[in-house]
Amino acid sequence: MAVGARSGHDEPEERPQRSGGSFPPGSGPSGPGSSGTGPVDSGHPGRPVGGLPPEVPPADGGHAAGGGSGHGGTPEEDGEPGDEGRSGGRKRQRSFWKELPLLIGIALVLALLIKTFLVQAFSIPSDSMMNTLQRGDRVLVDKLTPWFGSEPERGEVVVFNDPGGWLESQSVPEPNALQTVLSAIGLMPSAKEQDLIKRVIAVGGDTVSCKRGGKVVVNGKPLNEESYIYPGSTPCDDQPFGPIKVPEGRIWVMGDNRQNSLDSRYHQELPGNGTVANDKVVGRAIVVAWPVTRWATLPVPGTFEQQGLAAAATAAAPGALGLAGAIPLVLWRRRTRRTAGH
């Protein structure tokens, strides 16, 4: 039989209506003569279009096909207990208490690296730097720049190791329990390190002096020190000195509380005549970090920026540069004259 041929009924064939339409009894796509391509037969609910078999119900009493767990997914997706061993799913997270020793170890390593190469905290044990620094203050010291060849400059507050003999007559305070723990991990200096903190007044090549009743003079320039020395202190009335020529690679240091500071003035009988070698300097104190009520930076006072202060120390520089430039010129002229004479 050809596709679309009549099924033998005499009634005229009707065109199938759109889905949702009604058909007379005995006619339409499901009746005799139907081609089987119409919408769902109203007399056979659930039969699909085109004569396909109806949807197969779940074989396990309502569970979707292929879903053995009853949730419509695989065991790995459902994350049921005990599935890790069967299916190789996600591993259980490590306990916090098992990770804690690792975290502590990493923190200690970082603290030691920071203390060794970057910044270290120091406690102020005396009154020699009042009022800039008071007893019990905690300062942070920059230890990074010296690794790149930076040297102490005039006006900076620096921490340095005992050059030898400076602390022999002074008693070292016993550290408390907190300082003992912090020094053990590198967050605080050990009391055995014998460190001091003073202000740099002169550097290598400078000439420094101070007469009773006068001011500290560096390279012929008097220093105006009212902004940082302890109120009521005199620049050097308790111990005048100089003039002293500071050797290259060394510094002359003084406390801001001049009448309560055993600084360079009081150690001129030792090697170096009271000066400190640059390689003894731990670093520059840059900020008062504790207590928070005294938080402050430690900049270089303006008196050390006055024009001509470093003139004496650098007076030889222009002459050296001129000589370096003149030598090639002289050699070139001599060679030119010799060539012209031949």
**Catalytic sites, residue numbers:** 128, 198
Q: Which amino acid is at 36?
A: G
Tokens of 15: 């065109």
Q: Which amino acid is at 315?
A: A
For 79, list phi and psi in degrees, rounded to 5.
65, 40
- How long a stretch of residues is the chain? 342
- Please, are residues 250 and 205 in contact by the beta-carbon 8 Å criterion? no
- Please, are residues 286 and 140 in contact by the beta-carbon 8 Å criterion? yes
Helix extents (H) in 47-142:
75-78, 83-87, 96-117
At 328 the three-state DSSP class reads helix
Which residue's structure tokens are 């609910």? 45
- Please, are residues 255 and 328 in contact by the beta-carbon 8 Å criterion? no
- Please, are residues 209 and 243 in contact by the beta-carbon 8 Å criterion? yes
Give helix then strand counts, H and E, for the chain.
Answer: 5, 12
At 207 the three-state DSSP class reads strand
At 316 the three-state DSSP class reads helix
- Please, are residues 159 and 196 in contact by the beta-carbon 8 Å criterion? yes
Q: Which residues of 249-286 are buried (b: 16+ CB within 10 A; e: fewer)?
A: ebbbbbbbbbeebbbbbebeeeebbbbbbbebbbbbbb
